[in-house]
Amino acid sequence: MSTLRPPSLLDRSPFLKATIGSRGNLVLSIAVVIVAALLVPPLVRWLLIDATFLGTAETCKTASGACWAFVGEKLKFIVLGFYPQEEASRAYAASALLIGLLALSAVPRFWGRWLVGGWVAGVGGVIWLLGGGGPLSPIPTEKWGGLPVTLLLSLGSFILAFPLAIVLALARRSKLGGIRLYAVVLIETVRGVPFIAILYTATLLFPLMLPAGAAIDKFARAAVALSIFVSAYLAEIIRAGLQAVPRGQSEAAASLGLTHWQTLRLVVLPQALKQVIAPIVNLAIGIFQDTTLVAIIGMFDLLNAARAAATDPMWIGFYAEAYVFAAAVYFIFCFTAARYSLWLERHLSVP
Amino acid sequence: MVDGVINASVESGEPGRTRPGIPAFVRMWLGGWPLAQIALYLGTLLLFLWLGRNLLANMARLGLTPGFEFLEHTANYEIGESFIAYAAGDSYARAALVGLLNTMAVSALGCLVATVLGVGLGIARLSPNPLVSRLVQAYVELLRNTPLLLQLFAWNTVIHLLPVPKHALSPVPGILLTNRGLFLPAIDAGGRGLFVLAAMAAMLIATRLVLRRRRRFAGPAPSRVVLSAYAIALLLPVAIATGFGISFAPDIPTLKGFNIRGGASMTPEFAALMLGLAVNASASIAETVRAGILAIPTGQWEAARSLGLRPLAVMRLVILPQALRIIIPVMTSSYLSLTKNSSLAVAIGFPDLVSILNTTANVTGQALEVIALMLGAYLTLSLTTSAIMNAYNRSHVLRSERR
């Protein structure tokens, strides 16, 4: 006979039961606590307690912690790169415009035709804000840098890639063998090689392939390379969405008298795209991180600007601080997007 | 009709459909609009011809001859590290081979480390202990939400912050961590270690095949037979090598003067790249493993437990074999992306294929040929890896579904 006993502390707290309820879990918990005790205090000391928040490079060198004074001093450079200081407000406005559009697009109620138009106009506006023209003084793309470049490259290439990806996805499912083969070769080649190889093709090879005298801006070449790269991956995602739309949908549309293209545009594609929004957000997170590779061809995106800030002779060698700051910025963007993608998956799933 | 492959086998007198002829097959494959499709290919061809003509004109203007002859010319740059003998003055082809071997080495080792880390973390992520699973979750989130390039920069900085050899960090006796590289204990076989290792691998595979055949015809062998078979497979090559006069000596890295001698070593760049790639990939592998295990119905767990299996045995004998079916295809793409990501080596100064080819392109100006080599090499690597993994998938994963 089992004896009745009052509920112990372990029975009332699931957390305690899972952490110290059995001998194995107790050992694991103690191991985790020991590891945390070894790692967390030095980290906190470096990040906060011993850190220098105000001061010069000299005061930083005497302190043993992080030098946040460096980040404060170089903040403008990290965020804007070599963009002219007196025109900084334009770069801030451009970043704000892109982040605002992102925030708008996150609300499912706003999804629609005008949002697409808004993005096209917004990217055009950002290029105008950064590059100048009309009342704004012109600034060459070599001077662009920092967060606006990261945002513009990743979002702009997505906008450019979207129509191409839809065409590729449809072509890969086409009944026409020649078109299908064309799409397969294109998609698999791009997916089979690293992004750096495509970037080099665009920067080293493409200028050689233009007629003598013609030249394309380096920024544009990087954007085109990124768009081609994105479109191959995006096409595969959209193809998965197309496959998930039941055949009955297009048959029903056809029986209503819609033409092939009307069926695609009004019935199949909207359903297909809605199914794959969460994977598209995940791809966007990956692309946002992959834009850092433009540092290899000498452009100054956020990461490269942060790295370059630590090569300033006045503040040389504060790489750790620069990387921690850049990592925090990337983390905030990507973590928010990842959480949003999870929320969206729940929100859109049919109960 | 296009699908009318009934082209009457009246003459042969056999009833039924026959295989379509080549023209009918092409018609079926093409579907409708053959002219439009041919026009697409012709247009692409014309575009490439135009680009190629410009390229030839530009190369002629720069005094370059198209073609791969330049690969035979001598390369006048040094390469930091190499698995085959290389010195400035060797050909560009040899330099490219050095890069290819470096890429393959760093990817292979990275995949291995990433798998071990990722599978362990993926299982730990499912632990009922919230402290453990939250810790792994934080690790995964941190790695997935920061750019790989940033992680590689960070690893590079950390490894260069390690102490000089004189004050080397030694977490485990025999392993030395310094800013000149990482040193591990090894076994010195007088330069013939690779042959012995290859022989051991071949013997292991052969033993496994023989045991599998035996199991099919005569049922599972007793564990002592299996164990001794594997022991013999491992020891025989060593014994034969000893007979041929190769001596095996433990090679422990030790401090000699200002440097460390002996042991297996990794340069700081190799270590930074390998660790960065492996740790980054381990996050996605952990998520893959977790998803694969979660996809197994809870009934399997309950059934295994009700049979009295211990938790580890449940995992090893019941859950993992089924989860592998889901995990392996996704794991393949993790391996492929790790291999492609190894091209980020160029950013931290490790001489991988892309970095060496990029130098070659800058020195010789032969951008077209160099980029063709680069694309060809990665496509071959990617396609081979997916072919191998697909074969494995067919033999191990789908077998249970065929039954």
| pLDDT bracket for residue B402 (50, 70, 90) | very low
The string of DSSP letters for B347-382 reads HHT---HHHHHHHHHHHH--HHHHHHHHHHHHHHHH
Contacts with A195 from chain B: Cβ below 8 Å:
340
Please list every residue in chain A whose beta carbon sits closer than 8 Å to the beta carbon of residue B60.
none
Position B160 pLDDT exceeds 50: yes
Assess B281–A contact: CB distance below 8 Å, yes or no: no
The answer to whether A331 contacts B145, with C-beta atoms less than 8 Å apart, is yes
Summarised one tens digit per residue, pLDDT across range B108-159 is 999 999 999 999 999 898 888 888 889 999 999 999 999 999 999 999 988 8
A211: closest CA of chain B, how far (Å): 5
Query: At residue B252, does pLDDT exceed 50?
Result: yes
Q: Which of A179, A290, A319 sits opposite B37 (nearest CB)?
A: A179
ipTM, two decimals = 0.89
Mean per-residue pLDDT, B154-166? 85
Percentage of the residues of chain B whose pLDDT score is greater than 90: 25
- How distant is the Cα of B96 from the closest Cα of chain A, in angstroms? 15
Q: How far apart are the C-alpha atoms of B346 and A296, rounded to whole Å?
A: 8
Mean pLDDT of B175-204: 80
B184-203 average pLDDT score: 78
> In B, which residues are within 8 Å of A29 by CB distance?
129, 131-132
Q: Mind listing the pLDDT tens digit for each residue in B4-50?
A: 444 444 445 556 666 677 888 877 777 777 888 888 899 999 999 99
Instruction: Give the one of B130, B358, B383 whose C-beta lies nearest to A15's C-beta.
Output: B130
3-state secondary structure at position A90: helix
Greatest extent of chain B over all pairs of C-alpha atoms, in Å: 91
Q: How confident is the model at residue B3 (pLDDT cuts 50, 70, 90)?
A: very low
In chain B, which residue's Cα lies nearest the Cα of A15?
A: B130
User: Comparing C-alpha atoms, which of A117, A122, A131 is closest to residue A98?
Assistant: A122
Which residues from chain A sit within 8 angstroms of residue B131, using beta carbons? 19, 28-29, 32-33
H helix and E strand count, chain A? 17, 0
Average pLDDT on A18-43 reads: 86
CB proximity B399 to A under 8 Å: no
Is B143 an interface residue toward A (CB < 8 Å)? Answer: no
Contacts of A182 in chain B (CB under 8 A): 40-41, 44
Chain B contact set for A36 (CB, 8 A): 135
pLDDT at residue B2, rounded to an integer: 43
Distance from CA of A348 to the nearest CA of B (A): 21
Residues 205-264 of B with CB under 8 A from A: none
Alpha helices in B31-129 (DSSP H): 34-61, 92-125
**Per-residue pLDDT at B191:** 67
Mean pLDDT to the nearest integer, A127-133? 87
Is B132 near chain A, with CB under 8 Å? Answer: yes
Q: Do A193 and B379 touch (CB under 8 A)?
A: yes
Name which of A185-199, A207-221, A233-247, B46-60 the model is least confident about. Answer: A207-221
H-type helices in B167-267, by residue range? Answer: 193-218, 223-243
Region B67-72 average pLDDT? 80
Q: Which of A109-113, A140-144, B316-320, B385-389 has the lowest mean pLDDT?
A: B385-389
Residue B172 has pLDDT above 80, yes or no: no
Q: What amino acid is encoded at B56 in this protein? A: L
Query: Which residues are A146's β-sheet partners?
Result: A301
* Cβ contact B149–A303 (<8 Å): yes
Using an 8 Å CB-CB cutoff, list chain A residues near B341: 194
Q: Which pair of tokens denotes residue A116?
A: 């697409």
3-state secondary structure of B63: coil
- The count of CB pairs under 8 A between chains A and B is 155
Nearest to A209 among B55, B61, B379 (CB): B55
Instruction: Please identify which residue in the block is written with the tokens 């072919």.
Output: B387
Structure tokens that stand for B26 in this block: 């092409």
Mean pLDDT value across chain A: 87
Higher pLDDT, B400 or A31: A31
Q: Is B16 on the interface with A (CB under 8 A)?
A: no
Rounded to the nearest angstrom, the minimum Cα separation between A335 and chain B is: 6
Instruction: Report the pLDDT value the prediction gives residue B315, as an integer from 0 to 100.
Output: 85
Choose the mutation target among B46, B106, B149 for the interface with A, i.e. most A CBs under 10 Å. B149
Q: Which residues of B touch A150 (CB under 8 A)?
A: none
Q: What is the DSSP letter of B317?
A: I
Rounded to 5 degrees, φ, ψ at A132 are 90, -175
A87: closest CA of chain B, how far (Å): 28
Whole-number Å distance between alpha carbons of A325 and A342: 26
Interface with B, mutate which of A64, A154, A170, A196 (most B CBs under 10 A): A196
| Alpha carbons B224 and B234: distance in angstroms, whole number | 15
Which chain A residue lies closest to B369 (C-alpha atoms)?
Answer: A205
Query: Any idea where the domains of chain B sit in the sequence?
Result: 1-30, 92-185+252-402
A179–B343 CB contact, under 8 Å: no
Q: How far is CA B28 from CA A168, A197, B41, in A?
A: 21, 37, 18
Chain B nearest-CA distance from A137, in A, is 34
In this structure, chain A runs to a length of: 351
Domain B92-185+252-402 falls under CATH 1.10.3720.10:
yes
Those residues with Cβ within 8 angstroms of residue A175's Cβ, 6 or more apart along the chain or in another chain: B31, B32
Q: What is the pLDDT of residues B271-324, one digit of tens each?
A: 999 999 999 999 999 999 999 999 999 999 999 999 999 888 898 889 888 888
Contact A176 B142 (CB under 8 A): no
Residue contact B358–A290, C-beta within 8 A: no
pLDDT number for residue B403: 42
Say if B332 is an interface residue toward chain A (CB within 8 Å).
no
Distance from B356 to chain A by nearest Cα, in Å?
Answer: 13
Contact A285 B57 (CB under 8 A): no
Q: Which of A176, A290, A292 sits opposite B37 (nearest CB)?
A: A176
B2 has a chain A CB within 8 A of its CB:
no
Is the predicted pLDDT of residue B240 greater than 80, yes or no?
yes
Straight-line distance from the first to the last Cα atom of chain B, in angstroms, rounded to the nearest whole number: 40
| Residue A10 distance to chain B (closest CA, Å) | 14
Instruction: List, for residues A325-336, the tens digit of each pLDDT value.
Output: 999 999 999 999
Contact B37 A174 (CB under 8 A): no
pLDDT of residue A239: 92
CB–CB contact A193 B54 (8 Å):
no
d(CA B274, CA A196): 18
Query: What is chain B's mean pLDDT, rounded?
Result: 83
Q: Do A19 and B129 touch (CB under 8 A)?
A: yes
Q: For position B13, what pLDDT does the model report?
A: 52
B340 touches chain A (CB under 8 A): yes
Three-state SS at A301:
strand
- Residue that is written with structure tokens 């990433």 in the block: B114
